[in-house]
Amino acid sequence: MQLGGIFEVFKPTKHSHQKRLLPTEPKEGYIPAITCTTQNNGIACYMPKEGALVLENMISVGANGDAPAFYQPREFALLQDCYALKFKGKELNRLQYLFLVVCLNKVLAKFNWNNKSGWAKVSQEKILLPFAKNGEIAFEVIEVFIRELQAERLRELQAYLKVTGLEDTMLTPEEAHALNIFTNYFVWKSGGGGGGETF
């Protein structure tokens, strides 16, 4: 399927924020700001939520080099050199978007600094998707496939931890403190198609 036919694109809105002046750690009233980076799920810094175009449950794509696509389950904003993609006509969940990110990253691999991955070019590219007999994309099959992959990886991890003697490892006080900060940083909610996490 041609990407331009299945995704709605969102581009950065005009703002006065400069990346180098924004905080690199989360703070109250700020949301993740996406740029063209290969690290940290595309998050380069944090920008004020007020006045930003707040997006959620979408794919972010770096448009200025060879950065991959990332699934963004929580609120975020586009800072520069990137865009966001939302599936047209249906609200997708985390597993469905994760599958599409893998497909999209196969396409993005052909782009680089000299052949930038702007939406005008990327929208013309095609990906292969499973279809049901009724002609619609088989999202249920995609979900089952991703769940099976996750279960397989979990079994591999559990076997590794058992073989290495790490299955009953206790956290150090520093690790427990870091986990506590992480756990308390996110407010978990259920419902919606966004994978459930937000801050």
pLDDT digits (tens, 9 = 90+) for 157-192: 989 988 998 888 888 899 888 877 777 665 544 343
pLDDT digits (tens, 9 = 90+) for 27-75: 999 999 999 999 999 999 999 999 999 999 999 999 987 889 999 999 9
Number of compact structural domains in the chain: 2
Q: Looking at the structure, do residues 137 and 121 belong to the same domain, yes or no?
A: no
Q: Looking at the structure, do residues 42 and 104 belong to the same domain, yes or no?
A: yes
pLDDT of 185: 62
If one compares 167 and 95, the residue with the highest pLDDT of the two is 95
Q: Looking at the structure, do residues 152 and 83 belong to the same domain, yes or no?
A: no
Q: Looking at the structure, do residues 75 and 144 belong to the same domain, yes or no?
A: no
The answer to whether 119 and 106 are in contact (CB under 8 A) is no
Q: What is the torsional sign of CA 125, 114, 119, 10?
A: positive
Q: Looking at the structure, do residues 137 and 118 belong to the same domain, yes or no?
A: no
Q: Looking at the structure, do residues 13 and 110 belong to the same domain, yes or no?
A: yes
Q: Looking at the structure, do residues 109 and 21 belong to the same domain, yes or no?
A: yes
Task: Judge whether 135 lies within some domain.
Answer: yes
Confidence band of 198 (pLDDT split at 50, 70, 90): very low
- Residue 41 CA: distances (Å) to CA of 71, 177, 183: 8, 23, 18
pLDDT of 68: 92
Task: Judge whether 15 lies within some domain.
Answer: yes
Rounded to whole angstroms, the Cα distance separating 71 from 127 reads 17
pLDDT of 189: 44
The tokens for 29 are 């009233």
Say what percent of the chain tops pLDDT 90.
65
Query: How much is the pTM?
Result: 0.78
Q: Which domain holds residue 53?
A: 3-125
